[in-house]
Amino acid sequence: MALIEWTVDLNTNIASIDEQHKKLISYINVLHEAMKMGKGQDVLGKVLNELAAYTITHFSNEERLMTTCGFPGYAFHKKEHEGFAQKVLKLNDDFKCGKYLITVEVMQFLKDWLITHIRGTDQKYAPFLLGKGVS
């Protein structure tokens, strides 16, 4: 069973955003599977690198949409993104330097943060953006 299963409460009903969230979840699931199967550092490092890069891409897409549409909760949302982005980038850098191993706890942290953020913080902009005609 995958670490994260997609459930309807994760839907924002903004097609591009839902697609990006599914992709992020898929990276976390692939990383989890690779960890469980005891894959080598090269495989884990590659997936972690992709996850880190895609996280940054996704956050900037969301932030651009929020600023373009004048979403009032933008500053708070951006702060949450910055906190997580820093952690993921540090995990990635530490991994590259051999300072860190991917553990069950790290996977749980990635899962909990992403799901809590999509269910809570991302859901806050969804009705606002949909109301502005974003689809």
The SS3 assignment for 11 reads: coil
Q: Would you say 44 or 122 has its CB closer to Fe ion?
A: 122
127 class by beta-carbon count within 10 Å (0-12 exposed, 13-18 middle, 19+ buried): exposed
Residues between 37 and 66 with contacts to Fe ion, criterion CB under 5 A: 62
Among 31, 65, 106, 122, indicate the residue that binds Fe ion (CB under 5 A): 122
Q: Where are the alpha helices (DSSP H) in the chain?
A: 15-36, 41-69, 74-96, 104-116, 123-131
By CB under 5 A, residue 110 contacts Fe ion:
no
Structure tokens at 7: 């459930």
Site string for Fe ion, 2-41 (x = CB under 5 A): ----------------------------------------
Q: Applying CB under 5 A, does 88 fall inside the site for Fe ion?
A: no
